[in-house]
DNA sequence: AATGAAACGAGAAAAAATTATCGATAAGAA
DNA sequence: TTCTTATCGATAATTTTTTCTCGTTTCATT
């Protein structure tokens, strides 16, 4: 009897997958061949049922008494997230935050391939940051024609966010990873994910001010 | 009849407060005196009831048909989060991510007062980044005695995360804002908030790969 | 004044996520 | 081979969060 997969997956589960993934790679590199939900849960102070539910969204199946083959599990997670295929991206705004993202090589592991950066500052245009050329934002249309950017990373000052987003839409990006605190107006169908550093700090602050809320979720 | 406040507040509500706060300050600076949940909800494509519930955790009370006085509301949110009093902090790891955080002045609005940075690299020790001195991490105990750091911001490479966290504990920080992907072992009572950039990217990736999940929450 | 509309607060209902439970299966020990 | 135990997958219960509903308050209009 066929059981259809749910069309939609729990957001918290998706958010926890990268944490597991990192741990799994650590274990693999130590020579481990299998891993159980119990072990993962122990590592993160969680319940094993939750880990099992989280992993199940990737379609992986394990063996009772043993667990999952680490290699398979890593592949299942990466496949679910689309992290085992390269996605071409560009970054707009090569200020300090932009530089930080270009400098962080962890995203390469997630298939993110940032070809280049764009900026308006003549002082940085023409230079390279961590091996990536910085172009004039005015040239984004021309360069976007040759290189097909799928994701645009937004690291401009808040005031320039919408303008930069529009430029990204022009070159046909499917998704915007928005590091600015601005709300973007985007057409239907464009995926936008906001990085809310202030939300993270709010949780920290609130815990200091109002005491612990609930247990931390990884 | 007295009704006791819930000891614990919904995490999602807390995470949405900074988004509202930003909007409220924009409105205030435009000269608006009052704002309703309906208006806020419209701005973010949410339901007004949710906004109202979120705001209610701060203890604010509004007036029917009118809404909330913007000034009062801003104060209530900032007070709830403890953002209207300065909290002294230091940053460990003045690499590109550390520089980005030192350079972002939005956190000043949240009461975060980053006095200085620490590093191990002799090339940056002794310099200043965005007006903050960079000290040798070996001196953290000495400097921590004079300046009482409450929050430690961790922006070192993953491999150095635990060591740096230990150094922060030595100087008595109450909370750690962890930008590294490492799980930290910390004593009971120390507050730790992890910034999970990979989780954010996982949501983006998953939406591209598996289609939209549910509506975006601000 | 009386009426109507907008918005609040509180509580109920619905949806989503977490946690608990249970039968099945595989590995290892007796 | 049989028994015990660890772990899986599935389903049920619980908890948390979101959404709905409704009565009340306030302002604006008649």
pLDDT(B2) > 80: no
Whether the beta carbon of A64 falls within 7 A of nucleic chain C: the reply is: yes
Give the gap in angstroms from C-alpha B144 to the nearest C-alpha of chain A: 20
As a residue count, chain B comes to 218
Say what the pTM is: 0.95
The verdict on a CB contact (< 8 Å) between A203 and B43 is no
Angle ∠(B174,B175,B176) on CA atoms, nearest 5: 140
CB contact under 8 A, B22 and A198: yes
A49 CB below 7 A from strand C atoms = yes
pLDDT given at position B218:
38
The mean pLDDT of A188-210, rounded to a whole number, is 97
Q: Is the pLDDT of residue A214 over 60?
A: no
Question: Rounded to an integer, what is the distance from CA A134 to the centroid of its chain?
Answer: 22
* Dist. CA B120–CA B98, nearest whole Å: 13
Range list of H helices, B90-138: 96-103
Q: Which of B204, B193, B205 lies closest to B11 in space, CA to CA? A: B193
pLDDT of residue B5: 56
What is the pLDDT averaged over residues B41-66?
A: 98
pLDDT per residue as tens digits for the range B37-46: 999 999 999 9
Residue B71, helix vs strand vs coil: helix
Count Cβ neighbours within 10 Å for each residue of B76-97 and write b for 16 or more, e otherwise: bbbebbbbeeebebbbbbbbbb
Minimal CA–CA distance to A178: which of A112, A115, A69, A97?
A97
Number of H helices, E strands in chain A: 8, 9
User: What separation in angstroms does the CA of B28 have from each of B17, B73, B74, B84, B205?
Assistant: 16, 11, 9, 17, 36
DSSP character string of A130-185: TTEEEEEGGGHHHHHHHS--SEEEE-S-GGGHHHHHHHHHHTT-SEEEE-SSSPPP
Residue length, chain A? 218
Confidence label for A215 from pLDDT (cuts 50, 70 and 90): very low
Task: Calculate the average pLDDT of chain B.
Answer: 94
Mean pLDDT on B165-187? 97
Which among B16, B110, B204 is the nearest to A177, CB-wise? Answer: B204
Q: Give A66 to chain B, closest Cα distance, Å.
A: 25
B106-118 pLDDT, tens digit per residue, is: 999 999 999 999 9
pLDDT-derived band at A6, boundaries 50, 70, 90: low
Q: Which is nearest to B176 in space by CA: B76, A112, B163, B103?
A: B163
Output the distance from A69 CA to D3 C1' rounded to whole Å.
27
The protein residue nearest D28 (Cα–C1') is B65
Nearest to B20 by CA among B61, B77, B81, B80: B77
Q: Show which positions of strand D are touched by protein (CB under 7 A).
A: 5-11, 16-21, 24-27
Inter-chain Cβ pairs, chain A and chain B, closer than 8 A = 185
CA–CA gap between residue B131 and residue B138 (Å, rounded): 21
B217 pLDDT more than 60:
no
Phi-psi region of A114 (alpha: psi -120 to 50; beta: other; left: phi over 0): beta
- For A117, the token pair is 């950066």
In the block, which residue shows the tokens 């030192």?
B102
Give the distance, in angstroms, between the CA of residue A79 and the centroid of all CA atoms in the same chain: 14
| Residue B140, φ and ψ in degrees, nearest 5 | -60, -35
CB contact under 8 A, A212 and B191: yes
Q: Between the CA of B65 and the C1' of D15, what is the distance in angstroms? A: 34
């Amino acid at each position: 009897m066929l059981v259809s997969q749910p069309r939609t997956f729990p957001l918290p589960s998706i958010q926890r997958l990268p944490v597991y993934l990192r741990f799994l790679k650590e274990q693999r590199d130590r020579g481990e061949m299998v891993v159980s939900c119990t072990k993962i849960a122990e590592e993160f102070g969680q319940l094993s049922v939750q880990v099992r539910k989280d992993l199940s969204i990737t379609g992986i199946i394990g063996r009772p008494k043993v667990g999952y083959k680490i290699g398979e599990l890593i592949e299942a997670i990466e496949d679910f997230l689309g992290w085992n295929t390269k996605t071409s991206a560009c970054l707009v705004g090569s200020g300090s935050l932009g530089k930080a993202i270009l400098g962080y090589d962890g995203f390469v592991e997630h298939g993110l391939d940032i070809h280049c950066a764009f900026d308006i500052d003549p002082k940085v245009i023409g230079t390279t940051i961590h091996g990536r050329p910085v172009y004039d934002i005015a040239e984004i249309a021309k360069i976007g024609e040759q290189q097909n950017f799928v994701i645009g990373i937004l690291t401009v000052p808040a005031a320039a966010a919408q303008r930069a987003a529009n430029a990204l839409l022009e070159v046909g990006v499917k998704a915007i990873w928005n590091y600015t605190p601005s709300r973007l107006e985007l057409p239907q169908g464009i995926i936008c994910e906001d990085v809310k550093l202030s939300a993270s700090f709010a949780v920290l602050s609130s815990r200091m001010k109002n005491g612990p809320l609930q247990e931390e979720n990884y």
